[in-house]
Every structure is written in C-alpha cells, then in structure tokens.
C-alpha cells in the first residue's frame, strides 16, 4: 500500500506553548491538536540564519516558501545587500558608478526603517554615503 503524505504550511502561526500572548495557542482547535498529536510532524525554523536572513531577523511567507520549495537556505536580498555594503561591492558596482557619473543630482526615495522586511535603514545610509563620496547632490 502506498503511503500518503501531505505538506501543510500554516503561514503566520508561530509555535509557542505559552498561550498568554499567543491567540493561536489559546484558541480551541481540536482538529489541529489531534493532527499534531497523532500524525508525524515537524517544526521548521523560520527566521534568522536558518532561512538566509541575519541572526534574530524575522522571516515572512516569501522567505519561508522559497526555502521550503528549494529545500535549502536561500540568502535573502537583505543579507546579500549587507554583504555588498560591507565588502564595498555595492560602492564599486559598475552600473551604479555609471549612473552616478551621468546624474549629478540623485533623488533617493524609499522606505526608511530597521525592520528588514521591506527596507533597511543601513541600506539607505550606504547609498547616501556612496553618493556623497562621488560628489553627487542628494535629495532624500
């Protein structure tokens, strides 16, 4: 007889036995609890280095689905950009250098936050520093 297997991904539900501030754990959910007790299951790490993000950085659906779908850690743009800033790769980027040489006035528009999901303040600051170093007039 063939074994059946089902992959159930419950987006947005973190595992925490403490129900004080956890609506999901406090809720009555007999079907879910029965499955969790009777069927082989596994918990996945969904933040930080386990999914290609900086340590202690929360993940999101996109990050989780990419790692599950590929079966490996995929370093996210946040990490890739951080590394490019650290090793001066961003500053030396040929396309960025061509752009800054051609356009003396630079308007930088974007989100400014340390949240890391849709923006990172250090990336914004790095772009300001690169523009200043190149002598560009910056409007942010």
Residues marked active site are found at: 61
Q: How far apart are CA 56 and CA 60, in angstroms?
A: 13
Strand partners, 18: none
Cα angle value 133/138/140 (rounded, 5°): 125
Closest of 2, 90, 82, 8 to residue 41, by C-alpha: 8
Q: Note the residue count of the chain.
A: 140
Is residue 107 within a helix (H) or strand (E), and if so which, with residue range?
A: strand 105-107
């Amino acid at each position: 007889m063939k074994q059946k297997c089902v992959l159930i991904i419950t987006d947005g539900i973190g595992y925490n036995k403490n129900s004080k501030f956890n609506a999901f754990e406090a809720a009555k959910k007999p079907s879910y609890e029965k499955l969790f007790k009777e069927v082989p299951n596994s918990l996945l790490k969904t933040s930080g280095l386990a999914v290609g993000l900086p340590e202690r950085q929360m993940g999101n659906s996109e990050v989780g689905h990419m790692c599950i779908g590929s079966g490996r850690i995929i370093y996210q743009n946040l990490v890739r950009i951080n590394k490019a800033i650290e090793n001066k790769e961003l500053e030396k980027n040929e396309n960025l250098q061509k752009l800054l040489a051609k356009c003396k006035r630079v308007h930088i528009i974007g989100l400014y936050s340390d949240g890391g999901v849709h923006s990172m303040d250090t990336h914004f600051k790095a772009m300001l520093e690169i523009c200043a170093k190149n002598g560009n007039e910056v409007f942010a």
